[in-house]
Structure 1
Amino acid sequence: MPETTLRRWQLPAYGRAHLEQVQAALPAPGPGQILVRVGAVALNYRDLLMTEDGMGMPLVLPFTPGSDMAGTVEAVGDGVRRFAPGERVINTFWNGWIDHHWPAHAVPAGGPGPGMLASHVLIDAEAAVAAPATLSLAEASTLPCAGLTAWFALAELGALRAGQTVLIHGTGGVALFGLQIARLHGARAIVVSGSADKHEAARALGASHVLARDSDWPAEVRRLTGGRGAEHVLELASGPNLDRSLQACAQGARVSVIGMLEGTTLDASFYGLVLGRVTVQGIGVGHRRALEELVRAVDANGLRPAIAASYGFDALPQALDHLARGAFGKIVVTP
């Protein structure tokens, strides 16, 4: 018998304690839409923030969180030519951002746009790309936000080249994708981490050096690069950490501001910016064309995302707890 209902997690009020699992009627795709059976949802730190207060955005409650999914197309609406039932897809984080031009109507998935923590989701066909042929759905679900953020910073905007040095803060999803993308391009990756138990794992993934966060890591980066400094920085801490990152930069380096673990304001020395000729860029994930290029790179080079743990659909609260504690890589939920 055909399925007639779906399951989803939703928030009738802000706060993780209010998360509830409900059933709803299975929708039919309208013109330009696809109905996707979700195979996996990758969690992001953003999801924690969205469940707490919506990150200050006006959300319509009840609200379903989750921005990244991989699944299989179940049905297509009128006019859809990009996909057919049975094909595997991943969603784009920004619905409406296709290429360089930024459209005013672009909206992110998982708030305020539709969330992915459901057994089935209805999305615009334009907001999906073919999943990598070489990855499982669980692995593919990690690409839309974390994978694309690192790719957009380094490959799309950063013009990363072989022989350069990339300084990476932390060992979460974006950080480890940055490490792998750096190695894929023939660049050296230096990781700064406050978790000593994750240092060996980062080295095993390809980091040339892993430095303790409570050390004088800016000086060590300069020593390791013969005084030159790093050409790229994935700044996942922000706050006062940005000023220390500038001390580790090469002349003309590019700093990609991505995370805000140490605060939502930036503290940077005027002299570090100006005398170092440093470009500081904000990264808000990326567009669909870049995601398609990332998928091609994954398939061509055998890149395998680092997954810390996988949880069943009913165990979402435990998965969010794990995410809040910190993980080496991505946390995945599988309906």
Structure 2
Amino acid sequence: MNINRSGLFWGLLLIGAGGVALAQQMGYIDQFTDPRVWMGIFAAVSLLAFLNYALSGWRQWGWLFPAGIFGGLAVTIALATNNVDSAAVATPLFIGLIIPFAAAYLMDRARNWWALIPGGIMLFLALTTLLVDTAGGEWVGALFLFMIAISFLMVYLGNRTRLWALIVAYATGVLGLAPLMSVGGRDAAYFGPIFLFAVALPFFIVYFRSAQNWWAIIPAGVLTTVSVIAALAIAGLIRNANQGGYANALLMGGLAVTFVVVWLRHAKPWAKIVSIVLALVAVASVFFASYSQIFWPLAIILVGIYLFYTALRPKAA
């Protein structure tokens, strides 16, 4: 006879729990006030659930949810009764929740890739309960972001076509650096330039993978230039109004170099004009640094005059 072990297990569990509760309400048995009784009950339920998992040929990983949860509760009660006064008493419960997700993923990595995400969250919660009493909030925040990054990285490695998972892993991994910037007296302001360069890095990778991706060097160059200028400003190397001209020169110079690469390496004639204009603006920014407040308005006016002239100039037949 084919027996539904799942229905049998939960049916007996509910009948037993209801019978005990009814007997307590009617006064036939005393209330279970000794935590060791509950520890034994939870351990027994966990063992029965694990036994059903074993009898299923180690394939019905859903049995590991009651096995892990009730087993974790039993260990949590044991720790609490032994005067463990910290957040670590909740760690076994989260470890118990990791087990079924790990089993699901290992049984069929192609179909059960999703189990890595909740499994990573449970692992983070387990580590948090262990570290929260000793580590600072910065480490906990960074750990959370790094665990998410690792989870999505594993999803990508399981199937290289899931580029969305790699993007999420990279983004959360970079953001995980932000809380750590203030650890050990570091200046968190430098995270801005680091983040900008981290955003530029994927564009560099796309650019160097194929010559057809010439467009990727433009956002890569712009973001890298801005990150360098921001780092110099935070370091105090660009402080006063006169040095603002040098910042403009660096910006225009970095952009000019970017378009020079597009011009020389990919034979784009329009990039030649852009790079020359940017280089001239960079040089002018250095020589007219003391007039930096009026330089850009004048430059905009000159560009407007040029466009106005080209619009009215008669076109050749």
Q: Which has the higher strand share?
A: 1
Q: Which has the higher helix share?
A: 2
TM-score by length of 1: 0.21
TM-score by length of 2: 0.22
